[in-house]
Structures are given as C-alpha cells and as structure tokens.
Structure 1
C-alpha cells in the first residue's frame, strides 16, 4: 500500500478522499489548518497552513502520492495558484505524482470546444474568481511544470459539493477533458468522486492529463 498525503484533507473532497484511501489500507496523512472533531482511524492529521512551505514540505516528504484538495477562498483567495506551484515543485523534487481536485468549469462541452470557464454565465458572479483560479491550474500552471512531474487534474461533475453530497453508489464514469455529461453538468457524490480518484491513483495509467468523474 502507498503513503498518500492529502493537502486540504478535512474539506469536502479532501475528507472523502482521506476516508476512501484509509479504508483501502493506505497510509494517509491529512494536512489542514484545523484538526477535525471526527477523525478517520489510523489517519495522521497534521495541522498546518498550506501557504507555509515548511508545512507543505513536511507532509510531502516521504509520500508516495500527493493529493491537492484546496479551495481558492479564505486565506488562499489571493495565493491559491502560488500554493499549488509550491506543491508541484515539492512533489517534483520528491519524484511523486500529484493529483489535483479540479472544478467542472475547467471541462469542455465537446472535443476542441472552449472550456466552460470561458463563458461564466452558467455560474453565480460570486464564484467567478474561484472558478477562474482553479481552471488556471490545468490551463496554464500544471502544463508548465517540468516533464518529470506526473500530474492528474480530476474534475468532478457540475453537481458536486457539500450542497449536494449524495450517497455512495459505488459507480462512476471517467472522461477526459470533455464533460461526461455536458447538459446540466451531471452529478457525483463526494464518496463516489473519492472512489474514482483513489482508483486513478492505484491504477496509475493517467499521466500529465485532465480527466473528469461523473455518473
């Protein structure tokens, strides 16, 4: 089994990924600004700020896989991309793959079509900055990393988040950068997104690419 470090391991996506990986017997370290009241057994919870390179380095060192599950809000609103650049640099130096929890708007409705992020009329104005920041990771930042870094940017369906937690069905579909269900965006629960992401980690057959998970 592998040692997974989940940065942002107590958020909506991060906590689901931590639980799924731990349930499969992986050694899991979860970095977050605050420690959760309810902890997954055998998970190493580390309190630290993702803007602190020393904190990041301490949990990336020794990992077999790094998962980034951060959101560009709060203290990360203005530093989100810089933090991910640091994470990518540390993962590359460690020689381990980086899986990033992405967003639906980074996807395309059809092959070769503009990404949804290029027309944000589908999203409330209050979320536009966050959407653009997340999309910039897969459009600009991750492709610019050294070829030695294996990254996988994993977008969920449109209906994904604490507002629509859903249930674990034990099924999902994998697409590339074209949304599995473009009309309406589709859906996936947090548990099944985590199921799919940990499957991607274990199979290890995606490299420097953008994929999406949906029902």
Structure 2
C-alpha cells in the first residue's frame, strides 16, 4: 500500500479522496486548516495552513504520492498558484507523483474546441478569478514544471461541489481534456474519489490532464 499525503484533506473533494484511499488500506495523511468533526480511522491528520512551507515539506517528505485538493478561494484566493508551485517543487524534490484536483473549466466540450474557461459569460463575475486561477494550473503552471515532476491533473464534471453533491453510483467514465460529460451533469464526490484513487493505483498517466464524469 502507498503512503498518500492529501493537502486539503478535509475539503469536499479532499475528504472523499482520503476516505476512499484509507478504505483501500493506504496510509493516508490529511493536511488542512481544520480537523474533521468525525476523523476517519487510520488517517493521520495534520492541522496547518498550506502556505506554511515547512509544514508542507514535512507532510510531503516520505510520501509515495502527493494529492493537491486546494481551492482558489478564501485565504488562498490571491496566492493559490504560488502555493501550488511550492507543492510541485517539494514533490519534485522528493521524486513523487503529484495528483491534483482540478476544475471543469479547463476542459474542452469537443476535440480542438476552446476550453470552457475561454467564455465565462454565463458564470457570475465574482467566480471568474477563482475559475481562471484553477485553470491556469493546467494551462500554464504544470506544463512549465521540470520534466522530472510527474503530475496528473484530474478535472471533475461541470457540476461538482458541496451544493450539488450527487449520489454514489459506484462508477465513472474517464477522459482526457475533452469532457466526458459536457451536458451539465454532475459526479458525486464519492465517485470522483473512486476514479481518482484508481488513477493513483494504476499509475498509467504521466504529466497528463484527465477528467472524470458519469
């Protein structure tokens, strides 16, 4: 079993990934600003801020896999990309793969089409900055990392989040940067985590953008 560190391990996607990975017997460390009300058995929780480089370094050191499950809002709104650059550098130094919870805005509706982030006219203006920051990771930041860093950016379906949780169906579809579900459908956190941990265990994707939908 692998030693998996999940940064943002008590958030919507992060907590589901922690739950799925722990259920499969992986040794999971969850780093987040707050501790969960109901801790998951056999998970090590570290309460700290992702902006603390020393804490990040300690959590990543000795891991086999690093998962980034941070959101570009709140305290990270203006430093989100900088924090991920630090995480990427630490993962590269340790020589471990980095799997990142992405957003659907960086996907394409069809091969060769513009990505969803190119037209945010139907999205409330107050969400534009965080959407663009999330998409910038895969459009600019991760492709520019040293080739020694093995990363996988995992986008969910368009409707994904605590306000539209969905139900666990025990299945998912996997695609590349073209949305496998572009009709506004949702994927539950549990099914997203199911696919996410499958990606970790199979290890078939390298420096790649993929997406999960129903």
Aligned match of 2:189 = 190
Match of 2:213 in 1: 214
Aligned to 2:63: 63
Q: Which residue of 1 aligns with 2:40?
A: 40
Following the alignment from structure 2 to structure 1, what is the Cα–Cα distance between the partners of residues 109 and 48?
A: 38
CA distance in 2 between counterparts of 1:191 and 1:122 reads: 28
Secondary structure of the corresponding residue to residue 89 of structure 1: helix
Deviation (angstroms), 1:183: 2.7
- How far apart, in 1, do the equivalents of 2:39 and 2:207 lie? 32
Following the alignment from structure 1 to structure 2, what is the Cα–Cα distance between the partners of residues 48 and 10? 12
Counterpart for residue 125 of structure 1: 125
Shifted more, 120-129 versus 138-147: the winner is 120-129
Give the equivalent residue in structure 1 for 2:135. Answer: 135
Shift of 1:37: 1.4
- Deviations 1:111-154 (CA, angstroms, capped at 9, x unpaired): 11111001012322121111000000000000000101110000
- Deviation, 1:195, is 0.3
Structure 1 segments unaligned to the other structure (5+ residues)? none
- TM-score when normalising by structure 1: 0.98
Give the number of equivalent residue pairs. 214
Map 1:163-174 to 2 at 5 A.
163-174=163-174
| Secondary structure in 2 matching 1:30 | strand
Query: 1:101 maps to what in 2?
Result: 101
* Residue matched to 2:23: 23
Deviation at 1:4, TM superposition (A): 0.4
Alignment RMSD (CA, Å):
0.7
Aligned to 1:150: 150
Residue ranges of structure 2 left out of the alignment (5+ in a row): none
Partner of 1:88: 88
Is 1:76 equivalent to 2:82 in the alignment? Answer: no
Q: Distance in 1 between matches of 2:119 and 2:157?
A: 17
How far, CA to CA, are the matches of 2:42 and 2:181 in structure 1? 36
Partner of 1:202: 201
**2: distance between equivalents of 1:75 and 1:138?**
21
Deviation at 1:103, TM superposition (A): 0.4
Q: What SS does the aligned partner of 1:132 have?
A: helix
